[in-house]
Structure 1
Amino acid sequence: METENNTVVTEFILVGLTQSQSIQLLVFVLVLIFYLIILPGNFFIILTIRSDPGLTAPLYFFLGNLAFLDASYSFIVAPRMLADFFSEKKVISYNSCITQLFFLHFLGAGEGFLLVVMAFDRYIAICRPLYYSTVMNPRACHVLLLAPWIGGFVHSIIQVALILRLPFCGPNLLDNFLCDVPQVIKLACTDTFVVELLMVFNSGLLTLLCLLGLLVSYAVILCRVRGSSSEGKSKAMSTCTTHIIVIFLMFGPGIFIYSRPFRALPADKVVSFCHTVIFPLLNPVIYTLRNQEIKASVRKLFYQHLA
């Protein structure tokens, strides 16, 4: 059946992460463990931040939203991936594929922009402490939180609009376990050089610029706290180190996937798996494990309601 954009492919067949049954079983168990342990942990972090009156600073407001974004992001790929382990033929419809691709980039870009907002918050808190309460007032925090959602939507809708213009007339075999830009574009029945270039600018270059900007901002912060008191320096160093770890987990795989020509490499599936399934669930946990205030609040909440 042909549509207005000459699409005759109505479904795609996913190759999956691996053809090895033993590796598939190992991955299934690993993902299931992450879902049963770390995903509830993310929601517990959100509950802790919302229920503790002592965690009202903008940092915790943004961290709670990061945990929500990461938890939402993890629902895009992993549930279907778990279900596909039991399917001999992994089929996804054209519309479902485009929907998955949209939310993958919508929430992924939103998280990246939120990390930029969190870096701005830390810069004001450490480098301009006298202006912090004025600049980071509740109204400003809500406006800053809205920016990642709008930015993620604009970024993703551009990706989808470019793909919807492409004709797909076969083959329909996607060499991955999810629908993502590099694999879908290669199945188009036309020359995709211009579209690939636009995608690299929209995703790869944007991701690279965000990473470099964040690293420069944290370098400035670390240079600024060198002369601070021992306690203030230690706290700032811990916070910045945590943010930098999450930044590399978030932007490193994104740069590998989207900032180069869309040619298949042996590491593509592993990087995509870490980027879409493992790292999103780990990011808020990393923040929590290195933040004394949140750890204390988590323990208090646990003993109040569960112990």
Structure 2
Amino acid sequence: MFALSNPFARALATAIVLHIAVFAALAHWASRRPTPPAIISVRSPTWITTLDPWVEVDGSPTSSLPSTSETRYSPSNPNNPLDSSTPRAMVRPHRSAHAGPAESKDDGGGEMGLGREDYGHGSIPNEPNGLEPSDGVGRGGERRKPIELGLRRDLTHLWTQPEHGPPKASGSGSTTGGLQEALDAHDQKIGLGFGGPILSAFHAVASSEIAPRSGAATFEAIIDASGRVAEVLVLSGDNDLRAWTALARAVHASLRSRVLRAPRKKGVAVVVDVRIEHRLPSGALPDKRMDVNSGAVAFDLADVGARAVRQVSVRILSEYRL
């Protein structure tokens, strides 16, 4: 036995007692935990579904088929074309989309109705939900025009004619998987695109007296594979369209003798936006009137005695290879 007067012996004895107490508590708690219920495996019953087959009479057209009273199987019909060895089945009737429920009488005097109730759940074979299939062909054989949904051509075509592929997009696509287009966009962003000389020529001509006094227009300059400017077109413009056409001709004349950088074996088109305004040194419009009735008048001292000057803004909207 250890002497309890020794501090180390007392600490060791205390630790042992605590460990024993903890283990005893855990064992008691584990024995009182409820036992989980056992899982009982229940085998579901087997269901056997029997389908009545359809018997095709022959491959002849609908008009040459025998009448329904002669082709439908009926034990009470002695003139039934199906012999006793044929299984109980109903001959598949051919119905027109406009025909109503056909009714006929068998030899025994009973009513034989071939309405929708004969097929179950009010549907007709080859006509899901009682509707004729939508294949883009009308009842008279004419081709129905697809409904334009205001979406992309492939999405619209997917819902109007799903059995056919989407129409092929016109125009030449990327031959590099979009890599060349991404490089061209990066070069244009940092100012190294093909439209640098075009931009300078438009700015010089728009700052001259040939250009209109004010307005905005959009132009397109075509550079062929040899680097020559083939033509400069006016895409849109306000105010005087003749003045914008004269500006385009002046730009073409200034670039006609120059050889610009262009893609090999391909040309490039540059779309340019030009805006011309006359403003005072402060940036205000010269025809702006001061409202003295409001009780306060605001003006810039830089505009006192100054004349409006022409301000030209030219920027490239897009570049694309031909």
TM-score (norm 2): 0.19
Choose between structure 1 and 2: higher helix proportion. Answer: 1
Choose between structure 1 and 2: higher strand proportion. Answer: 2
TM-score (norm 1): 0.19
Greater C-alpha Rg = 2
* Higher RCO by CA contacts (8 Å cutoff, separation 6 or greater): 1
